[in-house]
């Protein structure tokens, strides 16, 4: 016996001697002497015994082992050869589960992994019907596992607790499930590829963070709590390539994106909220939003091929650089935001400008609305075949105005909405004025002005102020301006 403790005096208890049988039995080495590959055959193991409860198990390179049945619990597992976990079997690794570079792990049943490192070059796959659980749901805030090799999930992957360090590619295949309840972080130098369903559950008061480069062409659902993309250190960003569907399934579910992201035909849906912050967001194709906010630390880029926004989105103080056209096909609010680039903005739904500027031509389609919440500006031309709703704010237009749609303004005692154009104005369509807090419109209030005017509004909508008074708001032309009189 190696490393035998020194002999003690007779009166001292021989405590070390009593441990020797347990030490000898704690390590089970695969020998393959039983003539087959079955874990359940005791003749395949050292001592001709299958691994005891919480044994340390070693399978050397070149060996092939099939866990054919049962649910053994091991204190550690060092795998250098091939291990196949059959569909009817469960492997519970309570301690380090190590894969060497020659290892090959095939999961058809269930593997519970809470600690350890899988080396570069190892092969690991969760086959259809198989399941890999990472971490402990009983202590979700503790532990860490490291994946240094490519892992593909064709079954079901559950990240239940602890940090998950990925330095290779972790792939969730199409139509497959990746569940997470961990309040910790996926981090590392690798990449997460989701082509199936990534689903965040766990505590509604906790946050799961993906701080790793991510490609998504599948679905990412937040059932409750918060899913953060990108870590808290904006100077070391992770990158996201997103062209699938995000969904917040409850009102208290949230997504916080701190990762620079390329959005290509992406959808952000559901009852919860989305916040984009501390990162650059690039858009191409259709992007659908529900309750999305971009703060002033999240600049936006519209790619050369253009983009279309659908749903509801708030752009708060952002700088938007348009290398291609932008179509507003949902309810979009620009508050303190600016759009640069000189390419067209098409309004097919509602675009609200609140102290905003657009350095481009703006075209409001029939059925679309350009609404002013406060004074704003357009650096190009304005073509309106829909509704320009001014309320009491002023829209400054550096180019010309062509309106065959409706211009609506609110007339108060001392103010009204107005469009002031540097270029010419061409008018048609409808002028609608709403009287507020007065029994008559203010005199000589400019609604539209430009360097020259052609055309006229083809119709005017009278306003019923109350049951006893009907007022027609008249208008005149004065040196290129349309005045309420």
pLDDT at 95 exceeding the cut of 90: yes
Residues sharing a CB contact under 8 Å with residue 49, sequence separation 6 or more, in sequence order: 25, 28, 42
Residues sharing a CB contact under 8 Å with residue 217, sequence separation 6 or more, in sequence order: 194, 195, 243, 244
pLDDT at residue number 343: 84
Q: Is 317 left (phi over 0), alpha (psi -120 to 50) or beta?
A: left
CA dist 279 → 13, 183, 199, 259 (Å)? 66, 23, 23, 6
Rounded Cα–Cα distance for residues 244 and 287 (Å): 10
Closest CA to 145 of 124, 172, 167, 127: 167
pLDDT at residue number 15: 37
Partnered with residue 483 across adjacent β-strands are: 446, 476
pLDDT at residue number 414: 62
Radius of gyration of the chain (CA): 33
Residues sharing a CB contact under 8 Å with residue 202, sequence separation 6 or more, in sequence order: 140, 180, 181, 182, 183, 208, 224, 225
Mean pLDDT of 436-459: 77
**CA dihedral (410, 411, 413, 417) positive or negative:** positive
Closest CA to 177 of 201, 158, 152: 158
pLDDT at residue number 20: 36
pLDDT at residue number 402: 97
346-393 pLDDT, tens per residue? 999 999 999 999 999 999 999 999 999 999 999 999 999 999 999 889
Query: CB-based burial of residue 57 (10 Å sphere; 0-12 exposed, 13-18 middle, 19+ buried)?
Result: buried
Higher-confidence residue of 391 and 90: namely: 90
pLDDT at 7 exceeding the cut of 60: no
Q: What is the mean pLDDT of the chain?
A: 90
Closest CA to 70 of 51, 56, 57, 55: 51
Domain residue spans in the chain?
A: 26-134
Closest CA to 203 of 187, 182, 184: 182
């Amino acid at each position: 016996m190696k490393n035998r403790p020194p002999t003690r005096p007779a009166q001292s208890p021989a405590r070390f001697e009593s441990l020797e049988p347990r030490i000898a039995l704690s390590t089970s080495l695969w020998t393959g002497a039983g003539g087959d590959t079955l874990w359940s055959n005791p003749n395949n193991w050292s001592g001709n015994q299958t691994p005891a409860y919480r044994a340390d198990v070693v399978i050397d390179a070149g060996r092939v082992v099939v866990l054919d049945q049962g649910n053994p619990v091991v204190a550690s597992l060092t795998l250098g050869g091939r291990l196949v976990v059959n569909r009817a079997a469960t492997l519970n690794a309570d301690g380090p589960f190590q894969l060497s570079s020659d290892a090959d792990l095939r999961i058809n049943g269930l593997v519970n992994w809470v600690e350890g490192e899988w080396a570069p070059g190892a092969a690991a796959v969760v086959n259809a019907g198989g399941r890999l659980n990472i971490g402990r749901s009983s202590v979700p805030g503790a532990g860490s596992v490291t994946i240094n090799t490519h892992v593909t999930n064709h079954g079901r992957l559950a990240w239940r607790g602890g940090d998950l360090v990925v330095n290779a590619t972790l792939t969730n295949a199409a139509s497959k499930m990746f569940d997470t309840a961990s309040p910790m972080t996926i981090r590392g130098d690798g990449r997460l590829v989701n082509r199936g369903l990534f689903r965040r559950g766990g505590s509604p008061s906790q946050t799961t963070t993906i701080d790793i480069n991510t490609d998504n062409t599948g679905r990412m659902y937040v059932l409750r709590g918060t899913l953060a993309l990108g870590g808290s250190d904006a100077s070391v960003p992770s990158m996201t390539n997103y062209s699938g569907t995000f969904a917040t399934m409850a009102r208290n579910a949230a997504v916080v994106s701190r990762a620079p992201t390329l959005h290509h035909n992406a959808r952000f849906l559901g009852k919860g909220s989305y916040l984009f912050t501390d990162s650059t967001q690039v858009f191409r194709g259709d992007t659908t939003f529900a309750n999305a906010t971009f703060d002033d630390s999240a600049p936006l880029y519209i790619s050369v091929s253009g983009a279309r926004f659908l749903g509801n989105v708030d752009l708060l103080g952002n700088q938007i650089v348009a290398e291609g056209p932008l179509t507003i096909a949902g309810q979009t609010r620009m508050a303190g935001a600016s759009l640069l680039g000189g390419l067209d903005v098409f309004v097919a739904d509602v675009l609200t400008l609140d102290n905003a500027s657009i350095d481009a031509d703006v075209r409001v389609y029939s059925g679309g609305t350009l609404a002013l919440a406060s004074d704003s500006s357009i650096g190009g031309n304005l073509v309106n075949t829909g509704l320009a709703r001014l309320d009491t704010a002023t829209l400054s237009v550096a180019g010309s105005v062509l309106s065959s749609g409706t211009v609506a303004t609110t007339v108060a005692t001392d103010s009204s909405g107005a469009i002031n154009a540097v270029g010419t104005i061409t008018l048609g369509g409808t002028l609608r004025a709403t009287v507020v807090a007065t029994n008559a419109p203010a005199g000589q209030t400019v609604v539209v002005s430009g360097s020259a005017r052609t055309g006229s509004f083809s119709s005017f909508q009278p306003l019923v102020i109350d049951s006893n008074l009907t007022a027609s708001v008249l208008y005149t032309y004065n040196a290129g301006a349309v005045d309420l009189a």
